[in-house]
Amino acid sequence: MKKTLVALLTLVLLCTLVVPAFAADPKNAFENVVMNGNEDEFGYLANPESKRNGKNISYMEAYGCGNGAKGDMVQFKNVDFGKNGAKEMTIFFSYGGDKETTIAAHLDSKDAAPFATFTITNTGGWDKTKAKEFTKAVKVPAGIHDVFVEFTNEESGSFSYIRFAEADAPVAGTSAPATADMGVIASLAAIVTSAAGFVALKKR
């Protein structure tokens, strides 16, 4: 029994030390956060009640985000806003329609109130060769956050990256702790737990 407990404690310790090493690195909010098809970095969240051309939102090389419909979202995972947070958000967007298309950005949860909204008119086409940068003032607190970009009307459009400008002073608000820091905390907690287990077993 004693040998089994020692083995289990050793396994817990090894797992908590190894797993954080494989966690995805945070993305710098102050450089272009360029979309791709890697689900560990980006999520493409389809509105089940709305489709574009009978297709769900997805990554498309020539567009970035393709087949976006009202209520669809792109999730930018683990974006690092540094120690001060952000004062501006820029989106690289292409749109070939006749009406205005509207976009909203949410922080940490797709259900959170928007921290930025964009109204975009025709940029000359739908693919990213026709895209233009659009910038809005924002207040995003420091730390690592997920950013959700949502299509909020039926006009759609495409975008392939977002970027933020760093705030001049810390932005008021709740900061999300860095993913890497959480991994370290978990590892330390496991080490302490394992060490305590070894000590207890040794005393028996």
pLDDT, tens only, 163-180: 999 999 999 875 544 444
Return the half-sphere exposure (C-beta side, CA atoms, 13 A cut-off) of residue 79.
30
pLDDT: which is higher, 119 or 24: 119
Q: How far does the chain reach from its first CA to its final CA, in angstroms?
A: 12
Consecutive H or E run containing 94: strand 86-94
The predicted pLDDT at position 16 comes to 41
Residue 171 is encoded by which pair of tokens? 């932005």
**Of 44-48, 128-132, 157-161, 185-189, the least confident:** 185-189
Whole-prediction pTM: 0.77
The predicted pLDDT at position 22 comes to 43
